Every structure is written in C-alpha cells, then in structure tokens.
Chain A
Amino acid sequence: MTDLFRTDDLSFDYRPRASRREVSSDWTLQNIAVSIPAGSTVGIVGESGSGKSTLVRLLCGLLAPSKGDIVFEGRSIKDWLSNGQRDFYRRNQIVFQSPASSVDPRLRIKASLSEPTKALERRKPEPTELKNWLEDVGLSSDVLSRYPHQLSGGQLQRIAVARALSVRPEVLFADEPTSALDVSVQAQVLNLLMGLKHRHGLTLVLVSHDLAVVARVCDRILVLKDGQVVESGETAAVMTDPQTAYTRTLIEASRATSLVKD
C-alpha cells in the first residue's frame, strides 16, 4: 500500500510563535513520524491531552505545523493549502465528537447537509443527491426538514457522517465519534463507519480514548502519550504483545469495563 499521509518530524504547539522556538517536552506534539497507507483504518489512541485531536486537526489541514511537515500524496500540506486548498479539503473530511455542536442549531438538516457541496463545489446539491446521502447512512429524507434538536444523538452523528461524505472524500477522520453516545448507539455508528469505508474505499482515521473500540475497527493502531507516539503497529500485534507499559495500562483500563460474552 502506498502512503497517503506521511508526517516528517512533525511538532506543534498552540502558543504563538512556536515555530521560532526549540521543540521541548511541553509541546502539544513532538517529532511525530507516522504514515497512513491508502485504504487503511488507523486508530489513534490516547488520553485527554495526549495530542490526538491536535494530530487529526493538523492532518486534515485545520491547523498548520509549527515544525516539520505533513505530506499528502507526495505534496507538502503547505503547498496543498496555498495551491489547491479546496481540493485538499474535499478529499479530507472530518466528523467531530459532539454531534449536537457540529451542526448549526438554527439550520434545518437540509441546509447543514448542503454546506460542503456549496462551499467546495460551488453548487447546490440535487434533491436526489440529498436523499442518496441520507440513505447511505441509514436515514430517510424525512429528516431534511427537521432541526437538530428534533433528532437523537445517533441520528445527528449519522448526519455529520453523511455531510462529510457528501463531497466524496478519500480520507474520513473521525474524532471520538462515539464517546457522546450510548454503547448501543456506538455499535451502530461504528458499523456504519466500517460499512461506508468498504463501500467507498475510504481511508479511515479513528480517534478514541477507548482501546476496545479501536481494536474492533482499526487494522493499525497508534498510541499517543504527552505528544509523542509511544507505540504503533498492527492492531493484533499491539493488543496481544504491547511493547510499552503505557499501552498495557490502556488495555487494562479498557478491560475493566469490558464484558466477555459467553
């Protein structure tokens, strides 16, 4: 598989003028070198504050690296964003954690769902397109005229996924897409993401603090701690033979609240 994304000594800090300073251990991300093969499902795991959301925001171009570089399809992200920004955003879409705050409460679902097409393709989506996008995520077109508060969390997260996929991206980033949802709804959303990944040949990057979730869905895992990658590799290898004490701690914590089925 070819690498779709590659980061090279990537460092990031939220404080101003970070790029002029030396990278130190208090930076949000320090010297990250990861690669994301095309068509893979990569899970980014870590606790709050480990930098996992920051990494995802850097990868999809919502933040600019302080040091180092991100390469997408052989071109530097700086190059993409100055020359081909719209194309880059179209090909890399993101779904956020809280479904309720990722849609405008004053807009009907139809308007929210149409936004990426309007912004990135400069046109209004056809009614049949809207219907197809919703069917793709298991919703009917009845929801188009509704407002966000009239829908459940699971339904809104489906809308967010449909909206991200409406511009036919190659990579879908999902930042804790299920942590605001019930376990029963979590399973539905994860199934949906896996199904869509296969149907559309997506590369999926899933961020989660729960290893149990990531282990079920992703073929590669990246463990982040305090802004550094402490472990990465194939899911089965990381789960059965973790190389660092930290990964073992995460497995233990996740195990404590998991049920074994008979």
Chain B
Amino acid sequence: MLEINDLSISIGPHEIVSIEHLSIQAGQRLGLVGESGSGKTMTAMSIIGLLPHDAVVSGSIKISGVEMVNRSERELTEIRGSEVGVIFQDPLRALNPTMRVGKQVGEALRLHKTVPKKDVKRRTVELFEQVQLADGANLIRRYPHQLSGGQRQRVLIAIAIAADPKLLIADEPTTALDVTVQKEILELLQRLSAERGMAVLFVSHDLGVIQAISDEIAVLYGGKLVETGSTELVIGSSRHRYTEALINVNPGHPEDISASLGERLVTIKGSVPAQGGFLSGCRFRGRCPHELDQCAAAPPLTSVSSDHSFRCWNPTELTVLPTSEVVGHGGSDND
C-alpha cells in the first residue's frame, strides 16, 4: 500500500530524515515512534507533501504504486483526502470553529467522493455511526466547541475516512485526550482498519500507545530508522538501545508499580539535539549508556529475522523468554 525507498528530507544544510525502506501492507497498522525532534511528523507529512516550503525531498514514496515525490500541488490535492486520510494531533485546531461539524464532514464527502448533494446528510450520519458517535442526526448541527475532545477526534476520523482512503495517517491523535478516551479511539482505529482493509500509519512519542495499536513498529531517531519489526518482536525482544530506552521510560502498569512508589523513574540521558546537532555514526551516541568506540561509525543493518532488523553496534542480548509472556503479562520491574 505504502512503500518508501531511499527517502531523504533536508532543510537547508541539514538532512532531517533519511529512510532506506519502510512499507505498510493493506489493512496493516504501522506505528512510527520516536521522541519530539526525531523526524516522525516530517516523515508522515512527506507522504502527502505537507512539508515546509524550504524542505527538499528526494527518493521515492509510492502509494498503491503511484509516486508521490515531486508531484504538483494540484495532483497532491487530489490524492490527499481521497487516497490518504489524515488525523492531526489537536482536534480543536484541525476543525473549523465557525462551521457545524456535519458540514465539515459533508465537505470531505462532496470534494473527494462526489456524493450527490441530497445524499450528503445521510452519508454523514452513516459516517458518524461508523466512528461510534451516538445521536449523529443531532450532532451534525453542533459546532466544534460544543463537543468533547473525544467527540471532536471522532469527527476528524469521520472526515479522514469519508472518501474511503487506502491509507490513514494518524499523527499523535490521542496525545491530547484522556487515557479512557484514548483507549476508545485506539480501539476504533483498529476496528476501522480491519473492516476497511485500510493501512494505518500511526505516529506517537509513546511506545505504550504504539504497542496498543500497531502490528508493526518502526523506531525513528535522528531521522533514521533504528529498529523495525513486528510489535511482538520490537517490544518483546528489542535489540536497539534506543528502543530499550523508550520501553524503560514507560511508567508501566499502574497495579504493578505501586510497589516501586516514590522510586525514580528511568529516563533517557540528555535530550534530542536540535536540527543538525546529531553526532555522526549512530545518532543515539552521546545519550546511549552502552556506547562503544565503534559507534562513531554508522552501524550496519542487522536482520534478526525476515520480520525484525535493527542498527546498533552494541545491541541488547536476546531475551530467552517467549515473547508472548513478556508482552502480555509478567510484572517485574527492571530497575
């Protein structure tokens, strides 16, 4: 469905993103994870050509075989919305505050699907049902400020899926939401992707959220993919030290941790460097507690299996535990 090859995005003298290969199959959910500044939003937005004007893109991004790089604005407008749907982080800012939400969904239907005017209302209510917005006939008359955060995000999802896109890009869609609402939205996206055979690119800084929704995970740092593979393998037997660090900063299950009350949480040393501030070789150098001399050179790609690869000179040892136990249950802390 989506295939990225040798993608490079530069702004001025700095190469922000450099991805050799990344692909998503139809109906599959890929989680792209990394801290702020690791290039994940840039990568996601490059797919639909929504990048700053001074960004230079090279390489290839194909959606169902159609090349997206260096398209004209007009061709891109066609593809956005119809082939690819997008959900942004802040639902309040993504919706027009002066327009009833039903009309905003209708707009997407009329633009991309050319639904006849008389059917728009009926289709809008249907879409509201699909995103589990109860009482759709009433809700379409509301303005964004009259809805809760979760409802707004559902409206955005309705707009994004209005034209039956083959790919849905979700950029931190749950970061602004309560954990309870977040859980519902994640379940909704999972269901929609399964029912419609829609590929989903889910972007988040939180590996916990990514793990809850993705079949595959790609860990991005300094604009480079450091580890990719199935969710089970990336979480259960992570190899790259950055993936390990992201797993460790997660606060863990609430019931399991009351024993470690008041203990310091595990952190990642330092912070993500600014544009162009990354060291050569392994990008995680300088923050990694397991750094070796050879990390100054670019780490080679190591394939653990056809479904799991990473780039690290000093990876974590393979865990002997069966992965299902590590992902699903268990309970001990590692610090």
Contact check, A239 vs B258: say whether CB atoms are below 8 A apart: yes
Given contacts A235-B261, A257-B208, contact A211 B254 (CB under 8 A): yes
In the assembled complex, the Cα of A48 lies from the Cα of B177 at a distance in Å of 8
Q: Which of A3-11, A56-64, A186-194 contacts B (4 or more CB under 8 A)?
A: A186-194
In the assembled complex, the Cα of A116 lies from the Cα of B105 at a distance in Å of 47
Q: What is the number of residues of chain B that contact chain A, defined by CB distance less than 8 Å?
A: 55
Q: Please pick, from A153, A254, A260, the residue contacting B326 in the complex, using a CB distance under 8 A.
A: A260
Question: In A40-62, which residues have CB < 8 Å from any B CB?
Answer: 41, 47-49
Q: Please pick, from A218, A249, A258, A260, the residue contacting B180 in the complex, using a CB distance under 8 A.
A: A249
Interchain pairs with CB closer than 8 A, number: 157
CB-CB < 8 A to B304: which residues of A?
Answer: none
A142 at the binding interface (Cβ < 8 Å)? no
Q: What is the number of residues of chain A that contact chain B, defined by CB distance less than 8 Å?
A: 46
A240 at the binding interface (Cβ < 8 Å)? yes
Contact check, B149 vs A216: say whether CB atoms are below 8 A apart: no
Contact check, A251 vs B209: say whether CB atoms are below 8 A apart: no
Contact check, B182 vs A257: say whether CB atoms are below 8 A apart: yes
In the assembled complex, the Cα of A163 lies from the Cα of B298 at a distance in Å of 42
CB-CB < 8 A to A218: which residues of B?
Answer: 261
Question: In B259-277, which residues have CB < 8 Å from any A CB?
Answer: 259-268, 271
Contact check, B183 vs A217: say whether CB atoms are below 8 A apart: no
Contact check, A250 vs B180: say whether CB atoms are below 8 A apart: yes
| Chain A, residue nearest B326 (CB) | A262
| Chain B, residue nearest A258 (CB) | B253
In the assembled complex, the Cα of A180 lies from the Cα of B248 at a distance in Å of 19
CB-CB < 8 A to B261: which residues of A?
Answer: 215-219, 235-236
| Chain B, residue nearest A190 (CB) | B265
A128 at the binding interface (Cβ < 8 Å)? no
Q: Show the binding face of B for A, using Cβ within 8 Å.
A: 35-36, 148-149, 178-183, 186, 205-209, 211-212, 235-236, 245-268, 271, 319, 321, 326-327, 329-334
Q: Show the binding face of A for B, using Cβ within 8 Å.
A: 41, 47-49, 152-154, 182-188, 190-191, 194-195, 209-213, 215-219, 235-236, 239-240, 249-262
